[in-house]
Structure 1
Amino acid sequence: MIELRIAENKQYLETEKGERFFYLADTVWSAFTNATLEEWNDYLSYRKTQGFNVLQINILQQWDASDTDVDMKPFAYKEDGSFDFNKRNDAYFERAEKMVAMAVEKGFVPALVLLWCNYVPETWGSEISNINNMPFELVEDYVKYVDGKFSKYNPIYLVSGDTDFPTELATSYYSLALNTIKQLSPQCLTTLHIRGRLTEIPDELLHSNKLDFYMFQSGHNIQFQNTSYTLAEEFSNKPVKRPALNSEPCYEQMGYSRNIYGRFSRFDVRKAAWQSLLSGAEAGVTYGAHGIWSWHKQEKGFGLVGEAFDKPYDWRDAVKFEGAWDYAFAKKIFHLFNLNELKPLKIVMKSTEEIRVASSKDASRIAIYLPVNTTLKLDTILEDYDFTIIDLEHRRFGEASVTIEDNITTIGMHSFDSDVVIIGEKRR
């Protein structure tokens, strides 16, 4: 069982042995309500071979999950179809605990959402559907029950799910949940999964010593994909320094939000990951496949709730999307080249923010993400570095053509046909 803590540099997570832990998560919000135990076992085995080490799961029913024949809900229903939060279904939570135990046994860290936004009044999710707002007076008992079921597995607790903080009431729910879980199990790391493109966290939470690291999401709106790097910059420069990561970049083959025609490609999700990682959010990144997060089966319905996305793929097809291997490859590159304590640099001599550059604290490594092929000019002298170009589409390594003149380092066009990461290593 993995025990995590925050590294002293406040830039990433590490194990109890002091080893860097690159947070590589998959999004499986709907696992507890939709996946059979046999399916869950097969899924865990496959993701384990790819190198994933965290699984993001909603403890309660996901509001926009796909339809399922698994007849397991966390609470009994009232006559109006809403949950009766006074009548907990212990069998549901016992099954969920078994699924967590299966994941931990295979080497995963569970990252469990306590309260998705639709369970909290006055959030944006509650405005769409408020039938399942949990009464405030039941929140503490619910969190205590969750702690008894799951904290023994050293999960990360995502105190909120896709939330905003529009009112004091909404914030009070999350403050209570955060304070309760941290008091009961201080060894479990905590964070907030917040709404796409959101940058603000209420002071009550931002300055709490019970919040361990930041999550943001660049999300699924095609018009705002630049937030993969703008949010990374924002959160890495918060007044309270904590590790930061993109917990919900665009999902592979997800339809654009608001039912806009189009789907995010393997390239799109890979670009979002690398732009975040080199812009201040080096703690890790979360992958998502459209069909896994809602645990969709082809013959089942998919409710267009919330942001309204096009229909998912069958989960058995979605689990094989190639982009998952790209995210695993990113984790390998970070380990292979020892990319730690990265500092974003503004040295690209081109009128674009799409190209991202970061160097290690001691300047022994420099990493450049180049989404589209071009001659790259850098406003610095890098004559004592050896450069490797990594083709991210086919995962191949090549040599770089580098010249230095008039205090400018020029890296010539490469021969690959997609995006690349260029790694410079300082000669000893």
Structure 2
Amino acid sequence: MMKRYSLILLFLLVGLPDLLATHFYKSNVPFFHGRLQVDESQRYLEYEDRTPFLYLGDTAWELLARLTKEDVSLYLKNRKAKGFTVIQTVILPELDSLTIPTAMGASPLLPNKSITLNPLYLEHIDWVLREAQHYGLFVGLLPAWGDKIDKQWGNGPELFDEFSARVYGRMLGKRYADYPNIIWIMGGDRGGDGKNRKIWNAMAEGIKELDRNHLMTYHPQGEHSSSFWFHQEGWLDFNMFQSGHCQTSYAIYRRLLEADRNLHPVKPVLDGEPRYEDITINFRKKDGRFIAYDVRKTLYQSMLGGACGYTYGCNNIWQMYAPGRSSKCDARFWWYDSLDMKGCCQLKHFYLLWNNFDFSKGIPLKGILRPIDGYDMDDAVAFGNDSYIICYFPGGTGWNVSLLDSWDDGYFLQWMNPRNGSLSVAVRQTDMNLHVSLPEKGSEKDWILILKK
């Protein structure tokens, strides 16, 4: 007999802050676990001692150029408290001239010497890396934004050819090989085709010649993946794609995430630039702005779709928008007033799943979820194995969950609210064809269903 279950249950809030804090405090010194590496499943990242690593990134492209030391410390402390593990930033940034002083008073490049980094700027990068280490954070470090190789819509200038890119890469590899908290990210919103391919390969190989200690990936332009050009390259440890700022449904993950997971050799993959919170949709004010609901959808749809991590972004923070600076992409709040936006503050609730289930033993479960009410606004996704299933419902009123025979001995059903992290009382069930009603219905009312034996 099929039954319909709704949440007429008490949500348990007791102990939740302690559960989350335990993970954050424990990861203040993650570098004792050894280097990062790809795990045995080839789908996820881990430390050398086999401790799982969740790549939960924040986008701070202009941090090195636009923030003072006091600003950096404020920002990193805030991000650590929210559960981030990686900060993505750029040595040669996009927005400002490379020969005018940064917030710390030193230009990135020496005047009249095309690709010679200013020693004072390098010292500031060193300090930022140490400060991030103090907070237990990795830095996803881009050697140069993509316009320094392929100008297109950027400021440029185009600095590198194949030879100079390799020399530059060797310099960075030598200087930073022994820092414990770096993840190298090639690219920067550009493709790897044409002349770009040889230049990016040369820079990546230059780093790897002198630095075998750190993982490396590539950040492409919107709605593209590193796999389009570099999947077979030995330096690419995991794929990164950019779902971008125009798509609003799981369809973009079907095109990029699922495609990358089907490649050989198998490599981990993550969304390195999804919809920024508070950016205009399609870069047009008339289309509205992405909100916390969009952040939650990209987080849970990608992670339950099999990604090894996720990068958050806020339109006001990536550019470090502040008084005296021009607004890019219709930024409207100062960066320091945007640190606690709703979507950002809700990311930490994902740890309730990550800390309690072994994602490396799970897979995306296709075809087990079907809307009862004809809901077709977006896809629900499911992930798990024979001992647990996690379902994310972006909306609707009710869903059918079809279970395999291995669940016929019964299981526990529990709801999680991704907006506040609250959990319902777990209820024992035996139905193999389960009909569930969402605990709360309406616009932006997404829910997570947990089934476990």
Verify same fold: TM over 0.5: yes
Give the one of 174, 186, 190 matched to 2:216: 190
The answer to whether the 8 A contact 2:346-2:420 is kept is no
Give the one of 99, 103, 106 matched to 1:72: 106
User: Aligned partner of 1:206: which letter?
Assistant: H
Q: Shift in Å at residue 364 of structure 1?
A: 0.8
Deviations 1:245-304 (A, max 9, x none): 1111111111224334321101111111100011121x11111122211111144212x4
Unaligned runs of 5+ in 1: 79-83
Q: Which is worse superposed, 290-299 or 385-394?
A: 290-299
- Listed as ranges, the matches of 1:149-164 within 5 Å are 149-154=175-180, 155-164=182-191
Partner of 1:259: 284
User: Aligned partner of 2:169: which letter?
Assistant: V
- Listed as ranges, the matches of 1:292-307 within 5 Å are 292-302=317-327, 304=328
Q: Shift in Å at residue 89 of structure 1?
A: 1.4
Q: Shift in Å at residue 88 of structure 1?
A: 2.9
Q: Residues 94 and 69 (structure 1 numbering): CA distance in 2 closer, same or farther, change over 3 Å?
A: closer
The answer to whether the 8 A contact 1:252-1:266 is kept is yes
Q: Which is worse superposed, 225-234 or 416-425?
A: 225-234
For 2:102 and 2:247, the matched residues in 1 are separated by 29
TM-score, normalisation: structure 1: 0.87
Q: Residues 291 and 89 (structure 1 numbering): CA distance in 2 closer, same or farther, change over 3 Å?
A: same
Q: Shift in Å at residue 341 of structure 1?
A: 2.9
For 1:354 and 1:90, the matched residues in 2 are separated by 50
Partner of 1:10: 42
Partner of 2:132: 103
- Listed as ranges, the matches of 1:392-403 within 5 Å are 392-399=418-425
Deviations 1:65-103 (A, max 9, x none): 9x975543311456xxxxx42443111111111111110
Q: Residues 207 and 313 (structure 1 numbering): CA distance in 2 closer, same or farther, change over 3 Å?
A: same
RMSD of Structure 2 on Structure 1 (CA): 2.5
The answer to whether the 8 A contact 1:401-1:411 is kept is no
Q: Residues 290 and 87 (structure 1 numbering): CA distance in 2 closer, same or farther, change over 3 Å?
A: same
The answer to whether the 8 A contact 2:245-2:283 is kept is no
- Listed as ranges, the matches of 1:377-392 within 5 Å are 377-381=400-404, 382-383=407-408, 384-392=410-418
TM-score, normalisation: structure 2: 0.83
Deviations 1:152-203 (A, max 9, x none): 2131100211221231x11001111121212211111011111221146356
Q: Which is worse superposed, 410-419 or 182-191?
A: 410-419
Q: 2:82 aligned with 1:50, yes or no?
A: yes
Give the one of 174, 182, 192 matched to 1:165: 192
Partner of 1:126: 152
User: Aligned partner of 2:186: which letter?
Assistant: V
Per the alignment, in what secondary structure is the counterpart of residue 44 of structure 1?
helix
For 2:247 and 2:395, the matched residues in 1 are separated by 18
Deviations 1:105-154 (A, max 9, x none): 21111110123210113xxx435545333243321221122223333213
Q: Shift in Å at residue 336 of structure 1?
A: 2.5
For 1:59 and 1:68, the matched residues in 2 are separated by 12
Per the alignment, in what secondary structure is the counterpart of residue 291 of structure 1?
helix
User: Aligned partner of 1:319: which letter?
Assistant: L
Per the alignment, in what secondary structure is the counterpart of residue 386 of structure 1?
strand
Unaligned runs of 5+ in 2: 1-30
The answer to whether the 8 A contact 2:226-2:240 is kept is no
For 1:53 and 1:47, the matched residues in 2 are separated by 8
Q: Shift in Å at residue 64 of structure 1?
A: 7.5
Partner of 2:451: 424
User: Aligned partner of 2:256: which letter?
Assistant: L
The answer to whether the 8 A contact 1:24-1:331 is kept is no
For 1:372 and 1:335, the matched residues in 2 are separated by 25
Per the alignment, in what secondary structure is the counterpart of residue 292 of structure 1?
helix
Give the one of 273, 277, 281 matched to 1:248: 273
Q: 2:395 aligned with 1:369, yes or no?
A: no
How many residue pairs were aligned? 406
Give the one of 325, 330, 333 matched to 2:350: 330
- Listed as ranges, the matches of 1:127-142 within 5 Å are 128-142=154-168
For 1:223 and 1:103, the matched residues in 2 are separated by 33
Q: Shift in Å at residue 3 of structure 1?
A: 1.9
Partner of 1:234: 259
For 1:200 and 1:10, the matched residues in 2 are separated by 17
Partner of 1:276: 302
